[in-house]
Amino acid sequence: MHMIFDIERAKRAQIELSKRVVIEEIDLNRVDIIAGLDVSYRGNIGVATAIAYNIKKMKEECSVSVGGKVEIPYIPGLLAFREAPLMIKALIKLKEECIEPDILMVNGHGIAHPRRLGIASHLGVVMDMPSIGIAKSFLYGYIDFIDGSKVIIVDGRIVGYVVKKNRNEIYVSAGHKIAPHQALKISLETWLDNHRFPEPIYLADMISRKMLKDNLLKYK
């Protein structure tokens, strides 16, 4: 039996939740641990991984994964309704079993979104934490060049940046409780030259894929 997903209701919920998004500068000196969040799938089985990445030591401290069935299909602009439940479970598990992160880095968009609430913003508001969105495809806004940087513009303001790595363009945007230029700074500081994504997302993606492959029967 498949659940019925009300797209218009989900969009209205995003509009309401977006009113709680705050975009402001934070004290980056107080950011030590980044929680990298990603989900891998096989059919309707998903595995979310949360890794704790120490930005001062430039290394992974620990990781946790949770898996289960995902009933909601992928719909552009509504990714949070598909992936956030598993990500939240993984994040709670990370906090309980490992360490309290200072900021979230999510595979998906922040406020570079039609309703200004991509999955990174959604998770930031729900968990009341600063968050950054890292996405491999462009979703919303328009691209411009300002002061030598390729930027994402929404509502006349910079909400994110386009970073080119290994011939791939990656879209970095502020999610919640952080300024766009700070989201870019943290991302670049954790980005290895030979990797497509910043290390917190790169590692979360690698681990979630392995956990899915090794535990598929358990999650069915």
Domain boundary assignment for the chain = 16-219
Structure confidence at residue 3 as a pLDDT band (50, 70, 90)? low
Q: Is 119 helix (H, G, I), strand (E, B) or coil?
A: helix
Q: Would you say residue 1 has pLDDT above 50?
A: no
Measured distance between the N- and C-terminal CA atoms of the chain, rounded to whole angstroms: 15
Residue 166, annotated ligand binder?
no
* Residues 4-59: tens digit of each pLDDT: 789 999 999 999 999 999 999 999 999 999 999 999 999 999 999 999 999 999 99
Reading the block at residue 123, the tokens are 């998770």
Sign of CA dihedral 11, 12, 14, 15: positive
> Which of residues 193 and 64 earns the better pLDDT score?
64
Structure confidence at residue 220 as a pLDDT band (50, 70, 90)? low
Residue 44, annotated ligand binder?
no
Q: Is 33 helix (H, G, I), strand (E, B) or coil?
A: strand
* Fold (CATH) for 16-219: archaeoglobus fulgidus dsm 4304 fold (3.30.2170)
Question: CA-CA distance, 94 to 50, in Å (whole number)?
Answer: 7
Question: CA-CA distance, 169 to 139, in Å (whole number)?
Answer: 13
* Residues 63-84: tens digit of each pLDDT: 999 999 999 999 999 999 999 9
pLDDT at 216: 74
pLDDT at 193: 84
